[in-house]
Amino acid sequence: MYHADHNNDELPRFLLIHLDGLSYTELNRAIAERLTPAIARFVSDNAALMETYSLVPTNTLNFFLRLLADPAAHVVGSRWQQRTTGRTVDIRHAGSLHRIETQSRVSRDGPFDNALLFGTLLGAKAYSAGMVVSNRTWGNILRTIRILSSSFLPVFFSSPMGWSNAAVVGRIDAMGARSIAAAMRSRQHTVVYICLSQYDQYSHKHGLRSSQSDLALQACDGLVDSLLQCANNYGYLPLLFSDHGLAPSSPFSEIAGKELKDVLKLLCPNSVCKIFPSGNLAHVYIENENNDLRGQTLFNVAQRVSEIDEIGLVIAKIGSEQSVFFKSGEEIDASSVCEKDARLAPALRRLAGHRDSGDLLLFGAIVNDRAVNFMHQRACHNGWSLSQTQSFLAGRIALPTDNERDIVKLLLRATSQAR
């Protein structure tokens, strides 16, 4: 077992394997049902497996930014409106690929051996890939990530490549695994990282525990198997982790029997409500002629929206600093949103306080054990229920036993050994 105070001239080398969307509960289910023999062997063979949590919105891009650039970096979901330009930001779509490629080429002499793959990874979750982090210039790595991420975020996406491309993801995962294996063989890098997102994609489209989602998990396990062997051969310490969990979900329109836009139109007849669905979360931007839907009026609208059975929680941005929480038509104290997890309330306040988040933040309710989803998905994240914020970390490293269970902090600590 590797300890953080390890005193050895040779820097440790890390293989980071990111299994997108796989919760601690679902990982244990997969192990028990023998779907993932390679991960099961890794966990039973003297590795620590722990339950971790990610904060809302549980979002892969958010996780990348926090893991690699800045623990405080924050995106507000998978779709939102950039208030300064009015542009739509949609991180699920790959329309900006060309632009990101161009950006990557500029930094080709920089620290990334496969900057193109990284740009792809960061720019479009639909295209997961391997990434290699060089060992010498950590500061440059962080700068490059910041440049890539800030140049990416304002882009308007026009060529949707949504969930139907899950099969493509499997092939790209495999390509990424080959590039990561080659990187370990070369031993030129202290940290190598791969995101495997087939499981997440198939679960969104077909549902948790669907045959398609289980097959995707089995395919990921095959890649994990070869990566672990390679790590063993070339002296890399493997860490397996996920960024968030998923909850079974049903589309809002299916449960409510009407579209969210029609519901809002009835409640705000004199305003234009722009809805940006993001799984279990939706940002709503409200415009009216006098641009005066603030204060008491917004308060009243939020209260009425929260009376809808399919809406579990509403946060209204009453002022730039002030947000008010509503449940079932009542204003509630933020700290009572989730008594089981005290970290949720500050995370929600931070989300509502973000410049680009909506005037109203809607979170789907749990109806018949399924989260109400504002998109057409059978499993979702971005929301506030516990299964969505549940992730895991497994590795042969000494893990802290205190309450500091934030996966990002753990990984930053682990990777900081490599600086």
The angle at the Cα of 347, spanning 368 to 59, to the nearest 5 degrees, equals 65
Which segment (85-93, 193-201, 266-274, 348-356) binds Zn ion by CB under 5 A? 193-201
Q: Are 135 and 189 in contact (CB under 8 A)?
A: yes
Q: Do 115 and 129 contact (CB within 8 A), yes or no?
A: no
- 26 lies in the binding site for Zn ion (CB under 5 A): no
In 3D space, the residue among 88, 10, 38 whose CA is nearest the CA of residue 285 turns out to be 88
Question: Among positive and negative, which fits the CA dihedral 380, 385, 386, 390?
Answer: positive
Give whichever of 21 and 57 is closer to Zn ion, judged by the CB atom: 21
By beta-carbon proximity to Zn ion, the closer residue of 21 and 312 is 21
Tell me how far, at minimum, the Cβ of 204 lies from Zn ion, in Å: 6
Q: Are 213 and 207 in contact (CB under 8 A)?
A: yes
Q: How many residues belong to the site for Zn ion (CB under 5 A)?
A: 2
Report in angstroms how near the CB of residue 60 gets to Zn ion at its nearest. Answer: 6
Query: Between vectors from CA 340 to CA 351 and to CA 414, what angle results, nearest 5°?
Result: 65
CB 393 within 8 A of CB 52: yes
Q: Report the residue number, 317 or 378, with the smaller CB distance to Zn ion.
A: 378
Q: Which is nearer to Zn ion, 200 or 221 (CB)?
A: 200
DSSP 8-class letter at 367: E
The interface region with Zn ion, picked from 20-28, 112-120, 161-169, 397-405 by CB under 5 A, is 20-28
Q: C-beta of 243: minimal distance to Zn ion in Å?
A: 8
User: In the complex, what is the shortest distance from the CB of residue 336 to Zn ion, in angstroms, rounded to a whole number?
Assistant: 28
Q: From residue 152 to residue 191, what is the string marking binding to Zn ion with x (rule CB under 5 A)?
A: ----------------------------------------
Q: Which of 26, 90, 173, 200 binds Zn ion (CB under 5 A)?
A: 200
In terms of CB distance, is 208 or 410 closer to Zn ion? 208
Report residue 27 as tokens.
């990982």
Determine if residue 299 is left, alpha or beta; phi over 0 gives left, psi from -120 to 50 gives alpha, anything else beta.
alpha
Contact positions vs Zn ion (CB under 5 A)? 21, 200
